[in-house]
């Protein structure tokens, strides 16, 4: 089942979250053949949890810390997220890597904690423009995946991966479907090497300037098993169009 996830980043107050979700759920209906996920900011998780409780839409968080509790000012633990009904957590987004300098080691610890806690992580990987221009796309993506999954390779069926080329995020210039498909195939082959016993339950999503007018093109390819949507998920009408794009 394909996964269509909304990453709101640092957008929407509790009031705006309530208004969005009430409108979105009316437009959405019951998407029986796809999974829909909303990842609001931490401050909106509580109100989102209440509204989504009896709906077909799942709730996720944009980040977490790997310790269950302790003196970690400003951090949010997985038990806190579970109590709010979060079933997913986005891990290793390029903004976390590049702005907040999260290392592959830290990302690995977060993934491990998610798997232990029973929350499904969405691991984000992707190359910068200079990597792409130097022909290093596959090398960068492979390194990120190998380091992130170090020691937990046998659990690949319990997570999803979002390929988000950094040069396409928020720029309005997405990768072509053919570009994305080639990387998705590479990731699938790599996962098979890392976990030969895999049952293929890892969904590989595309993210990076996904919009209603290009989503349908990406969804023509079976290698693309969903989206991680940023800016276009902030309006209920545009996000519904993306959810219904196949």
Domains of the chain: 2-243 (3.20.20.70)
Residue 30 banded pLDDT, cuts 50, 70, 90? confident
Residue 172 pLDDT > 80: no
Q: Which two tokens stand for residue 17?
A: 């979250």
pLDDT of residue 21: 98
Residue 170 pLDDT > 90: no
Residue 173 banded pLDDT, cuts 50, 70, 90? confident
State pLDDT tens for residues 185-223: 999 999 999 999 999 999 999 998 899 999 999 999 999
State pLDDT tens for residues 60-118: 999 999 999 999 999 999 999 999 999 999 999 999 999 999 999 999 999 999 999 99
d(CA 25, CA 236): 9
d(CA 170, CA 112): 29
**Mean pLDDT score, 156-171:** 92
Please give the torsion angle defined by the CA atoms of residues 24, 25, 27 and 33, in that order, rounded to the nearest 10 degrees.
110
Angle at 174 between CA 126 and CA 243, to 5 degrees: 95
pLDDT of residue 29: 86
What is the pLDDT of the chain when averaged over all its residues? 96
State pLDDT tens for residues 107-149: 999 999 999 999 999 999 999 999 999 999 999 999 999 999 9
Residue 171 banded pLDDT, cuts 50, 70, 90? confident
Active-site residue numbers? 93, 164
pLDDT of residue 40: 98
- Name the nearest CA neighbour of 34 among 205, 185, 189: 205
When comparing pLDDT for 125 and 173, which is higher?
125
pLDDT of residue 189: 97
pLDDT of residue 39: 99
Residue 32 pLDDT > 90: no
SS (H, E, C) the chain: CEEEEEECCCCCCHHHHHHHHHHHHHHHCCCCCEEEEEECCHHHHHHHHHHHCCCCEEEEECCCCCCCCCCCCCCCCHHHHHHCCCCEEEECCHHHHHCCCCCHHHHHHHHHHHHHHCCEEEEEECCCHHHHHCCCHHHHHHHHHHHHCCCCHHHHHHCEEEECCHHHCCCCCCCCHHHHHHHHHHHHHHHHHHCCCCCCCCCEEECCCCCHHHHHHHCCCCCCCEEEECHHHCCHHHHHHHHCCC
Residue 182 pLDDT > 90: yes
């Amino acid at each position: 089942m394909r996964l269509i996830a909304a990453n709101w980043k640092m957008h929407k107050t509790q009031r705006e979250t309530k208004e969005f979700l009430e409108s979105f759920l009316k437009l959405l209906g019951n998407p029986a053949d796809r999974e829909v996920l909303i990842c609001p900011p931490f401050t909106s998780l509580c109100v989102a949890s209440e509204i989504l409780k009896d709906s077909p839409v799942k709730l996720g968080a944009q980040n977490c810390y790997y310790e269950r509790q302790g003196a970690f000012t400003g951090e949010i633990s997985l038990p806190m997220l579970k109590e709010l009904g979060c079933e997913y957590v986005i891990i290793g987004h390029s903004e976390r890597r590049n702005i907040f300098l999260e290392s592959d080691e830290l990302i690995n610890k977060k993934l491990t904690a998610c798997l232990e806690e029973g929350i499904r992580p969405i691991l984000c990987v992707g190359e910068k423009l200079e990597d792409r221009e130097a022909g290093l796309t596959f090398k960068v993506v492979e390194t990120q995946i190998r380091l992130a999954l170090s020691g937990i390779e046998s659990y690949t069926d319990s997570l999803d991966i979002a390929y988000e080329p950094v040069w396409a995020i928020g720029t309005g210039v997405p990768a072509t479907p053919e570009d994305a498909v080639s990387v998705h195939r590479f990731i699938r082959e790599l996962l098979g090497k890392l976990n030969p016993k895999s049952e293929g339950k890892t969904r590989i999503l595309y993210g990076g300037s996904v919009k209603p007018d290009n989503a349908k093109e990406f969804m023509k390819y079976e290698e693309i098993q969903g989206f991680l949507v940023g800016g276009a998920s902030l309006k209920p009408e545009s996000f519904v169009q993306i959810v219904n794009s196949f």
